[in-house]
Every structure is written in structure tokens, then in C-alpha cells.
Chain A
Amino acid sequence: MYIYLRKLAAMLLTVFLVSVITFVSFEVIPGDPVLSRLGVDADEAQIEALSRELGLDDPLPVRFFRWISGIFTGNLGLSSRYSRPVSELILDRLPVTLSLAAISLLLIVSVGIPLGILSAKYGDRIPGLSISIVSQIGMAIPSFWTGIILIYVFGLILKWFSPGGYTPWSESPAEAFKSLLLPSVAIALPSIATVIRYTRNTVMEQMKNDYVRTALSKGLKMNAVLFRHVLKNAIIPVITILGMITANILGGSIVIEQVFTLPGIGRLLINAISTRDLPLVQGMILYISLMIVIINFLIDIVYTIIDPRIKLK
């Protein structure tokens, strides 16, 4: 129990520090939320009205205190760009990002881990080498490029889906899946390559251990040794990597969302930063920090399930 409290305290401190840094950096960098919103055609009267509404005349500590005290009442404030509650804007984007994360994670696990094991099994023979070469290429290709190629091939030539058309799950689950599949593939590809390499390395590492020789010498088949004994030991570092990948995707796949015009967390964050929407940026940082903390926590639990020797410290 004490461990969790300590973790919670560490998390709160992290979020607090991050938001102080954000507040200060927004103060330092050029840019103004009022001008960013209204643009070059703004009338002086309109600029004044919006400045008044946003309460930007108050000194920094006052504004910071207002924000912090808002959090404890569950109020993240109003976005300065959209005049809507920050929590509503984030929640609205969450389904897209969560779906992207779920689908791409499924792809990463179901393709990356088996291929990694396979690649390790064949070591430096042709199948192993070819998998590792392909995975190296996969890591080198940026996901936005994969995205554009996927849109071009599947959207414009084959016409299997329509680019730029996101359908929410509530309207049509089939259409929603269709519009999310390709971006998920684009997100998953480089991560699949990473997972293959990690799995391959750790599995090959484990294969050198004595227990593998023992198992093989008592007559177990190679596959049985790999999946029953080696995998359990090799999977721990891979899970760590998977955790990092998940946190990344949940923090918004900025580039992929832009390329596929998906209304996810990443695009919202980019918008918020470029329009100097401090309340929204703060809210999103809170969300991202929370996500990372939760995922780390889940991974810790998974560790203890896979290897009971590991204790949370």
C-alpha cells in the first residue's frame, strides 16, 4: 500500500512541476492567444472583448493558482481557442486515440512477437536474416511516409477506403474500423520492427542459458522450449518497450493524425500549442502524464504476474 502512495505522490509532484514549467514557458515564448485566435482582421473592440473574457491581465501567479485550484474541483477551465471546457475537448478526442492505440497495439503484439521469436529461432540463417533486414528497414521508414503511401495505394488506387473521412464508432462501427485500420498500420509498422528486434535479441540471449540446453537434452522439441520456457524469460524487456510504445500512441500520434485527418489527441495538442491555448495545453499535459503513470503502473503489475519473483519496490 505504501508503495502506491509513494507512487501517487511522485506522480502529483511530476504533474505539478510539468505544469509550472508549461506556465512559465508560455509566458516566455512569443505569441498571444487573443491574436492567434482572431488573426489579422481583428477589430480593436473584438480584441479587447476577448482579452477581458480570458482574464489575461491578471498576473501569472494568480492565473496559475486559479488553474491549480480548478483541478481539485475537477474543472480544467475553458479553452482560450474554442471557448469550451478543456475536459470536453479532450474527452471528445479520446475515442479516436484509444482506438488507434488498441488496434495498433494488437498488430504490434500479434505480428512483432511471433516474428521476433521466429527470427531468433533461425538465427543467422536465411529466414532469420531476412526478417531482421526487413525489420531494420521498417524502423528506418518514418511513419508519415508509410501513411502517405498507404493512403495513395489503398485510398486513391484501390479505393478501399476514403482518405480524410473519419466515421465515429457511434455512427457505424464497420466504417470506423475501416478509417482507423490504415493509420493503425502506419503507426504499428515501425513499432513492429522495434518489437521484432527486441524479441529476437532477448530470445537469442536466453537461448545461450543452461536451462535451454537442459530442456533440449531431456528431449523437448525446439518450439516447446521456445514458447514454454524461453519466452517467459525473454518477454520482460519486450513488455517494457510495449509500455513505452503505448504511452507514445496515447499521447497522440501527431503526424499520423495529421496525414489521415483524424481528430485525435495529437492534432488537438498541436492546435493548442500553436494557438497558445494555455488551459488546453495544461489539460492535455495532465492527461498525458496520467496516461504514462497509469501505463507504468499496469506494466509493473504485468511483471509480477509473469515473473512472481519480481516485487514492486
Chain B
Amino acid sequence: MRRILLLLLFSIAVVNVFSIKRVVVAVPQDPDFLDPHRAAASGTYEMMFNVFEGLLKPDSTGNVVPAVAESFSISSDGLSYTFRLREGVKFHNGREVEMADVLYSLNRLRGTESEAGLSSDFVKFVSNIEAIDEKTVVISLNTLNTDFLEKFIIAIIPADNSDHNLNPVGTGPFRFVRYQPGQRLVIARFDQYWNTRLPEIDEVEFRIIPDTQAALMSFMAGEVQMLPRADAIQALILEGRYNLIGVEQNMVQLMAMNLDRTPFSDIAVRQAINLAIDKDEIIDLVANGYGTKLGSNMSPIMEKYYQEGLENYYETDLDKSKRLLTEAGYPSGFKTKITVPSNYQFHIDTAQVIAEQLKKVGIQADIELVEWGVWLDRVYARRDYEMTIIGLTGKLSAYDILKRYLSDYPRNFFNYFNPEYDKLVNSAIMQTDIDRKAELFKNAQSVLTEEAVAVYIMDPNFIVALAPDLFGYTVYPLYVQDMSTLYYR
């Protein structure tokens, strides 16, 4: 009798396991905020992309397509955006999206009399938000910004949710189920999703595994079905047995040189450093070839705005590098320090290769490892460093990528101040002509390269490893994991 009962229990368990299509994804860190307007970290967006949608949402080609809005139009002067809401879009709590929710969300970003806005772009550019009727909303800008359209991918959330961070509610293909700090974030398919093409996966668990080795072992043991960011060595281990997808991730890995400090304030020194560094060697040694060489602060995945040819602007030339150093007054090189966040092995490895390469022109660079929290505070916020290596994640908008170098950007940790550059970037977003706009953005990239503001190293390709029976991975030029297109076969 007991045996039969056990067998029965076992079969129920088996049926349960197989009837629910589940994917476990290994992620390295906790989300910062589940509230989409307060979240800043790319690691959060990568997960919650599946839960939230804005009036628009990004597609896999880097364009924006209507989501909560059904259609949109931009006035001829480019100053006002009109969105028409889609019929029958429902929040995860089952309630239909109303104009009040849209106004609430946009006002929360722009700020009201009583509350400060949560997006400085909305605060800076939006002059008016107005509902024309139940289904139409018009957003007016005070100054022309032709990159503003991409801002509307920010989430529309219900006005009556008492705690957006504890219980996030959106309109995306997956609904939030639970979050256990340091352990997991679980989302499940939302059956009333407006798009009839529902996801095939029932449930996704983002499991927080900070240790990359532990993540690899969990993946190989089948406990985890998707490893979104395998490194080059892990890829070697996994090759042949699993589905591996390597793609440009729209990230710019760079070595910044503090322009406020000698000798980096001297352009000749910065150029000399650029000439001494062999990026191909770094890509080979550090990324095992899984990297795309860069020449400026833009990845080729940003097709429209990418300035070609800059990646070879500084062809490795030790003689020329030494000559420039001599002219600058450093015939026998100098001593400096590369500060690297200790939690990014990739950047540490890069620093080691660069330190070796710089030795050849007499520059002795010591590597200083600091905790991530210290890096953010000391290097990024207080700009107390000489050289540092970091990866900057890409955005849909070229302006958002290039604005880091603007003189008035609060986190311009390069200490780069160039009115000519500011003019190029600021006038680019005033262009309604797309070709002219692209040209200005491209010129801005050239300026960064010519002035050798940093050493632009590579776009490290991220290698997605999928369980052998998992397919349908969609690549985005953004830091997201779209779980809605995955399926088992």
C-alpha cells in the first residue's frame, strides 16, 4: 500500500515538473529597486524588462515600437509627442490601463508641486503633460530633443498601487511573483497580456548567484538553464555541449585617464598611451577573441550613429608613442596607478595586460584593486583616481551614451570639458533631420578619439549559454533578457 502511495506521489511530482515550463536564469546581483522609476541598475532592467512596459518598448533592432500606446505622432516642430492608448491593455492586477495611470506615471517622472521628479530628463525637458481625451495624451517639450522618443520606454504603472517597490505591477508579458533578497526573483506569464502572442515559458526564476564559478557549476548540473554572461574561459568549457550565443552587448569598455591630473591633462601623453596599447592583444588574452574593437565611446551595434574607422585611429606604434612622451617631457616614462573594481575579473585582467603593454614605453602602471562600493564613491563620484578601467552599458539613445562627456554632466568622471564637444552633442538632439543628427553624433565620437579622452578598448561580447533544449533567444542592443521568446524543444 505504502509503495503504491509513494509511486502515486512520485508520478504527481513528475507530472508537475513537466507540465510547468520553467527557466532558471543565473544573475550576479540583486535588483536595486523593483519600482521601475527608481531603479537605475542595468542588472535590474535586464530582469524587469519582462514585467514593465512603457508607452513604447524597445525592439531587438534598437528601435522603439508601440506598447501601452497603440500609435504615436510627433509634431512637425518636434516639440510635442501625441500618444494614443491601446485598447484593452491590462495591468497584472487585472485592471485595465486608464488615462489616469498614464498621467500618474509621467507626472511621477517629471515631478509635481509636492514631489520631486524621478527622471532628470523629464524634469529638464518636459513642459506639459495633458490628456486630450480618455485615450490621447500629449507631452510637450520646452526644448527640442529628438532623442526624447526613447524616453517613453519607461514603465507605465498603476496609480493605485500602494507600494511599487514591494509589489511591482506592470503590463508586460510576465507578472512579478516574488522576490527574496539575495536569493531569487520569480516572474510568471501574464495570461491577459495584450499581445496575443503569449510567452511559451510559464515561469522564470532569476537566481542570484554572485560567484561565477558557482553559476557555471549550477548550469552544468542542469539546475540553471540559462547563463546570460558566461566569460571566455567558461565558454571554452561549454563549447560543443550547449547552445552558445556570442553578441556585441553595446557596452564600451574603456580606460579613463583623469584629465584633471598631470600628466594626463597633456593630450600628447594620452595619445602616447593610446599608441602604446594593443587592443587586439587585449581582446585575445582577456576575452579570448569574444570582443569587438572600439575606437570611441560607441559600439558598432548602434549602426545608425556609429562612426566607422576610429578603432584603428591609434595603430599600435611604440616608437611614435615614445617620441610623443619625450616631447611631452617624459622621455623615460612615469609612474602611475590603474584603479580597478575588484569584483570585475574582466577589468582586472585587462588592467594586467595594459600594465605590461605600457611598460614597453617606460610607463609603470601599478594596479590598485578597490571594492565596487569604493570605486563608485572615490573614482566615479569624487573623481579621485589616475587611470581606471570600467564598462559602460549602452542605451538606445546615442545622446544618453555620449552625454557622459558633457561639461555639465554631474557624473563626468573623465573631467572632460570641451565646449566644441558640448555643442556637437547638444545640437545633435536639436536636429529633426536624421542624417544630420547622425553626422553630429559621429563627429562627437571623432572628437573623443582625436583628443584621446580615454582608451576605448572593446565591446566585450556577451556569451549567452542556454540549456541544450532551450531555444528562441533574442538579442537586443540593450542590457535585457527577453524571456517571452524562449521555448523548449
Q: Cβ of B182 and Cβ of A271 under 8 Å apart?
A: yes
The answer to whether A82 has its CB under 8 Å from any CB of chain B is yes
Whether, in the assembled complex, A248 has its beta carbon less than 8 Å from a beta carbon of chain B, the answer is: no
Contact of B207 with A164 in the complex, beta carbons under 8 Å: yes
Contacting pair A35 B377 (CB below 8 A):
yes
Do A151 and B119 have beta carbons less than 8 Å apart? no
Q: Identify which of B210, B373, B376 contacts A258 (C-beta below 8 A).
A: B210
Assess A48 versus B376: contact at CB under 8 Å? Given A163-B223, A164-B215, A263-B182.
no
**Complex formed: what's the CA distance from A261 to B30 in Å?**
14
Chain B proximity mask over A163-188: 1 for CB below 8 Å, otherwise 0? 11110000000000000000000000
- CA–CA, A163 to B30, complex, Å? 20
**CB neighbours of B211 from chain A (8 A):** 258-259, 261
| Interface-side segment among A16-24, A36-44, A196-204 | A36-44
- A268: nearest chain-B partner, CB-CB: B182
Contact between A41 and B42, CB atoms less than 8 A apart: yes
Segment among A154-162, A207-215, A216-224, A225-233 that sits at the interface with chain B: A154-162
Task: Answer yes or no: B380 CB below 8 A from chain A CBs.
Answer: yes
Q: Name the B residues within 8 Å of A37 (CB-CB).
A: 32-33, 41
Of all chain A residues, the one with the shortest Cβ separation from B376 is A35
* Contact A30/B119 with A164-B207, A263-B183 known, Cβ cut-off 8 Å: no
Contact yes or no, A35 B218, CB < 8 A: no
A35 and B223: CB pair below 8 A?
A: no
Tell me which residues from 369 to 387 in chain B have a Cβ below 8 Å from any Cβ of chain A. Answer: 371-374, 376-378, 380-381
A282-B108 Cα distance, complex, nearest whole Å: 33
* Residues from chain B with Cβ under 8 Å of A267 in the complex: 182, 210
Residue B468 CB within 8 A of the other chain:
no
Main secondary structure of the interface of B (DSSP, over half): mixed
Are B218 and A46 in touch, CB under 8 angstroms?
A: no
Q: Are A39 and B218 neighbours in the complex by a CB distance under 8 Å?
A: no
Q: Scan residues 237-291 of chain A and give those whose CB is less than 8 A from a CB of chain B.
A: 258-261, 263, 267-268, 271, 274-276
Closest Cβ of chain A to B256, distance in Å, is 12
The answer to whether A39 and B221 touch across the interface, beta carbons within 8 angstroms, is: no
Chain B residue numbers with a CB within 8 Å of A156 are 217, 220-221
Question: Are B223 and A45 closer than 8 Å at their CB atoms?
Answer: no
- Does B181 sit at the interface, judged by CB under 8 A? yes
Of A49, A82, A162, which is within 8 A of B221 by CB? A162
Inter-chain contacts of B373 with A (CB < 8 A): 30-32, 35-36, 274-276
Q: A163-B221, A165-B223 are in contact. Are A31 and B40 (CB under 8 A)?
A: no
CA distance A84 to B33 in the complex (A): 11
CB distance from B148 to the nearest CB of A (A): 15
In the bound complex, what is the Cα–Cα distance between A200 and B392 (angstroms)?
58
Least CB distance from A279 to B in Å reads 14
* Residues of chain B with a CB closer than 8 A to A93's CB: 182
Least Cβ–Cβ distance between B211 and chain A, in angstroms = 5
Contact A38 B32 (CB under 8 A): yes
The answer to whether A164 and B377 have CB atoms under 8 Å apart is no
Query: How far, in Å, is B373 (CB) from chain A's closest CB?
Result: 4
> Do B214 and A164 touch (CB < 8 A)?
yes
Nearest A residue to B181 via CB reads A82
Asked if A159 meets B221 with Cβ closer than 8 Å, knowing A164-B215, A263-B180, the reply is yes
Q: Which residues of A contact B393 (CB under 8 A)?
A: 40-41
Any chain B CB within 8 A of the CB of A111? no
| Chain A interface size, under 10 / 10 to 19 / 20 to 34 / 35 or more | 35 or more
Q: Which of B58-93 contact A (CB under 8 A)?
A: none
Contact status B118-A162, CB under 8 Å: no
Q: Does A11 contact B (CB under 8 A)?
A: no
A39 contacts B42, CB within 8 Å?
Answer: yes
Q: Please name the residue on chain A nearest to B404 by beta carbon.
A: A40
Question: Is A41 a contact partner of B40 (Cβ separation < 8 A)?
Answer: yes
Q: Are A30 and B378 in contact (CB under 8 A)?
A: yes
- Which of A81, A159, A162, A276 is close to B30, meaning CB atoms less than 8 Å apart? A81
Determine if A83 is an interface residue (Cβ-Cβ < 8 Å).
yes
Q: Which of A87-134 contact B (CB under 8 A)?
A: 89, 92-93
Residues of B within 8 A of A163 (CB): 214, 217-218, 221, 223
Q: Is the CB of A42 within 8 A of B217?
A: no
The docked-state distance in angstroms from the alpha carbon of A156 to that of B376 is 37
- Among the listed B26, B123, B217, B390, which residue makes an inter-chain contact with A151, where contact means beta carbons less than 8 Å apart? B217
CB distance from A98 to the nearest CB of B (A): 17
A42 and B44 CA atoms in complex are apart in Å by: 12
The digit string for B433-465, where 1 denotes a CB below 8 A from any CB of A, is 000000000000000000000000000000000
Known: A31-B376, A258-B210, A261-B211. Contact between A82 and B30, CB under 8 A? yes
A38 touches B41 (CB 8 A): yes
- Asked if B165 is at the interface (CB within 8 A of a chain A CB), the reply is yes
Q: How far is the CB of B112 from chain A (nearest CB, A)?
A: 13
Nearest-CB distance from A31 to chain B (Å)?
Answer: 4
Instruction: Confirm or deny: B345 has a beta carbon within 8 angstroms of a beta carbon on chain A.
Output: no
* Nearest-Cβ distance from residue A213 to partner chain B, whole angstroms: 55
Supply 7 further A-B pairs (C-beta < 8 A) apart from A151-B217, A162-B218: A35-B376, A35-B380, A42-B411, A156-B217, A164-B209, A261-B211, A261-B214
A sample of 12 cross-chain residue pairs with beta-carbon separation below 8 angstroms, ordered by A number, consists of A30-B373, A30-B374, A32-B381, A43-B119, A44-B410, A45-B111, A45-B123, A46-B40, A83-B165, A89-B181, A166-B183, A261-B211
